[in-house]
A and B are shown apart, each in its own frame.
Chain A
Amino acid sequence: MSSVVSVRNLRKSYAGGFEALKSVNLEIEEGEILALLGPNGAGKTTLISTICGIAVPTEGTISVGGFDTVADFRAARNLIGLVPQEINLEPFETVMNTVRFSRGLFGKPRDDAYLEKVLGQLSLSDKKDAKIMMLSGGMKRRVLIAKALSHEPRVLFLDEPTAGVDVELRKDMWDVVAGLKASGVTIILTTHYIEEAEAIADRVGVISKGEILLVQDKAELMAQMGQKQLSIELSQPIDTVPEALASYALERGGDGQSLIYTYDTRGDRTGIRTLLNDLSNAGLTMVDLQTKQSSLEDIFVGMVKEDA
């Protein structure tokens, strides 16, 4: 895989002196879905805006498809489609007209057949002559995507595509994104919904306070940082964890009715078997066992907290 977007030592500070990005390095691979995860104000939108040309880098370089976004801005921007976070649309225009305008802005000759195909993919065919103000919120967001796709970009940035969107529509949006990926478009999306990153991303980048804390394959990330918890329900509650079990760092849960053992799935030994042995040696009887895999959310919250 080669990287289609490459961000090097990018720093961005605003006029007031606020440093939104501190030396960001990021390589985005061709054809992947990268989710940029971070709390509000982490710098997600600034990063996207700077790559797309809306904000000017204070320091550092960005290249898209090998073209520098400042020196060679036309070639670079031709490859990029941007779906902004806010629903910014001309209320009085028709869907087709505004999408046609977007295509023209990117210097592409008029091609209504292609645009109708895009609108079809986004289930907007029957709305093409409707005025934008007549559309629902979910449709408007899809119009924004249609606009971003109107000039056949290779890289699509989706800034919080599902912010304020209900669960059903969010699933629809994920389907749309999956369809786009299948058609070969590289997708970068920002989100603060962890489940979103978990559901559709190939790789996850975590950004906090203007710094990228990590970028990693989603499955790897979860395997590496994912801890599992074994919860052992006891027949009788206990007040203290017996001395003999001290080495397992058990926690008491449910008013002493259960013991919680945290272990690492990466280890050669999970220690479960010996724990269970020692447990019965200590005279405790168990009634039930449960394991739980920590989600991306737990990982994420842990990481951002550490950073704070």
Chain B
Amino acid sequence: MNLTAVKSIYIFEMQRFFRTITQSLVSPVLSTSLYFVVFGAAIGSRIEQVEGVSYGAFIVPGLIMLSVMTQATSNASFGIYFPKFIGTIYELLSAPVNFLEITAGYVGAAATKALIIGLIILATAFLFVDIQIAHPLAMLAFLVMTCFSFALLGFIIGIWAGNFEQLQLIPLLIITPLVFLGGSFYSITMLPPIWQTVTMFNPVVYLISGFRWAFFGTADVGIGISLFAILFFIAICLTAIWWIFRTGWRIRQ
């Protein structure tokens, strides 16, 4: 195991993050604050409590998840797409590293960035709403797993993408709708029965539900199912990445 290489990729990627700190940090925090103002304060004041929690507090886990999923995906996809785009990928391919090490470096860095952003948003949330975390450790574990799994997904997208449009396509067309419809801003029980069934096919529901459980102790689906869902998702992504590097798909000639 070439741990030095993993560390090098990780540090190199994190440096990019800190170099573009405004873009990396300020914009997601700002946009989330806007959500709090609009949905939490303005609209939320007219909504009754959801599952015994004020609406402003209720949307906090969903908002964090929304940001974390988008950020993890876009950071990881950009991280591996950029070397492909500018040609520096040759160095990764000719270095004594295997797929696990490359993945660990890029995905680790992207997940860390998403985690930092998630935690900052959480801290910001405390400024806007009164919120208690029922299971802090579980909350952190869910957050970390979500960062990690969506970074894996982003990594796959980055390898697949042949141009910048494709790089944006999946996050825009698939992930954002799934997250919005995954209960970021509402409880599934608020939906008509038929849509409750449909929504169960949305994998993001399980992640948001599990995360919300860590905050409030209540959830749309059982915490065990949420945990299983996220581990299953990670397993699928890892298998896909393993296949990509084994076959050299879109990378090695």
Residues on the A chain within 8 Å of B137, using CB:
none
Q: In angstroms, how far is the closest chain B Cβ from the Cβ of A105?
A: 4
Which chain A residues in 49-98 approach chain B with CB under 8 Å?
49, 52-56, 73-75, 77-78, 80, 82, 84, 86, 88-92, 97
Q: In angstroms, how far is the closest chain A Cβ from the Cβ of B5?
A: 5
- Bound CA–CA A51/B5 (angstroms): 21
> In the bound complex, do residue B252 and residue A102 qualify as a contact, i.e. CB atoms below 8 Å apart?
no
Q: Check: B97 CB closer than 8 A to any chain A CB.
A: yes
> In the bound complex, do residue A82 and residue B19 qualify as a contact, i.e. CB atoms below 8 Å apart?
no
> In the bound complex, do residue A104 and residue B4 qualify as a contact, i.e. CB atoms below 8 Å apart?
yes
From the candidates B4, B9, B82, B93, name the one contacting A109 in the complex (CB within 8 A).
B4
Q: Check: A14 CB closer than 8 A to any chain B CB.
A: yes
Given the known inter-chain contacts A54-B253, A56-B252, A91-B86, please indicate yes or no for A74 contacting B93, CB distance below 8 A: no
Q: Check: B95 CB closer than 8 A to any chain A CB.
A: yes
Report the contact-size class of chain A (Cβ under 8 Å from the partner).
20 to 34
Residues on the A chain within 8 Å of B5, using CB:
104-107
From the candidates A49, A80, A86, A101, name the one contacting B8 in the complex (CB within 8 A).
A101
Given the known inter-chain contacts A54-B252, A55-B253, A56-B253, please indicate yes or no for A77 contacting B94, CB distance below 8 A: yes
Q: Check: B88 CB closer than 8 A to any chain A CB.
A: yes
> In the bound complex, do residue A107 and residue B88 qualify as a contact, i.e. CB atoms below 8 Å apart?
no
Q: Check: B12 CB closer than 8 A to any chain A CB.
A: yes
Q: Check: B248 CB closer than 8 A to any chain A CB.
A: yes
Number of interface residues of B (CB under 8 A): 27
- Bound CA–CA A14/B253 (angstroms): 7
Q: Check: B135 CB closer than 8 A to any chain A CB.
A: no
> In the bound complex, do residue B87 and residue A86 qualify as a contact, i.e. CB atoms below 8 Å apart?
yes
From the candidates A14, A15, A77, A92, name the one contacting B95 in the complex (CB within 8 A).
A77
Residues on the B chain within 8 Å of A88, using CB:
86-88, 90-91
Residue of A nearest to B97 (CB): A105
Residues on the B chain within 8 Å of A77, using CB:
94-96
> In the bound complex, do residue A49 and residue B87 qualify as a contact, i.e. CB atoms below 8 Å apart?
no
Q: Check: B127 CB closer than 8 A to any chain A CB.
A: no
Q: Check: A147 CB closer than 8 A to any chain B CB.
A: yes
- Bound CA–CA A75/B93 (angstroms): 14
Residue of B nearest to A87 (CB): B87
Q: In angstroms, how far is the closest chain A Cβ from the Cβ of B35?
A: 31
Q: Check: A108 CB closer than 8 A to any chain B CB.
A: yes
> In the bound complex, do residue A102 and residue B91 qualify as a contact, i.e. CB atoms below 8 Å apart?
yes
Q: In angstroms, how far is the closest chain A Cβ from the Cβ of B21?
A: 14
> In the bound complex, do residue B253 and residue A105 qualify as a contact, i.e. CB atoms below 8 Å apart?
no
- Bound CA–CA A289/B68 (angstroms): 83
Q: Check: B92 CB closer than 8 A to any chain A CB.
A: yes
Residues on the B chain within 8 Å of A52, using CB:
93-94
Given the known inter-chain contacts A56-B248, A56-B253, A88-B87, please indicate yes or no for A106 contacting B96, CB distance below 8 A: yes
Given the known inter-chain contacts A86-B87, A92-B19, please indicate yes or no for A80 contacting B7, CB distance below 8 A: no
Residue of A nearest to B95 (CB): A105
Q: Check: B196 CB closer than 8 A to any chain A CB.
A: no
Q: Check: B166 CB closer than 8 A to any chain A CB.
A: no
From the candidates B4, B87, B92, B248, name the one contacting A107 in the complex (CB within 8 A).
B4
Query: Given known contacts A88-B90, A100-B8, A105-B91, what 16 new A-B pairs fall within 8 Å (CB)?
Result: A53-B93, A54-B90, A54-B94, A54-B253, A55-B253, A73-B96, A82-B90, A82-B91, A82-B94, A88-B87, A101-B8, A102-B91, A105-B9, A105-B97, A106-B5, A108-B4
Q: List 11 A-B pairs, Cβ < 8 Å.
A: A54-B94, A55-B252, A56-B248, A73-B96, A82-B91, A89-B88, A101-B8, A104-B9, A104-B11, A106-B5, A107-B3
Interchain residue pairs A-B with the least CB separation, the first 8: A104-B8, A88-B87, A74-B96, A105-B95, A55-B253, A52-B94, A77-B96, A107-B2
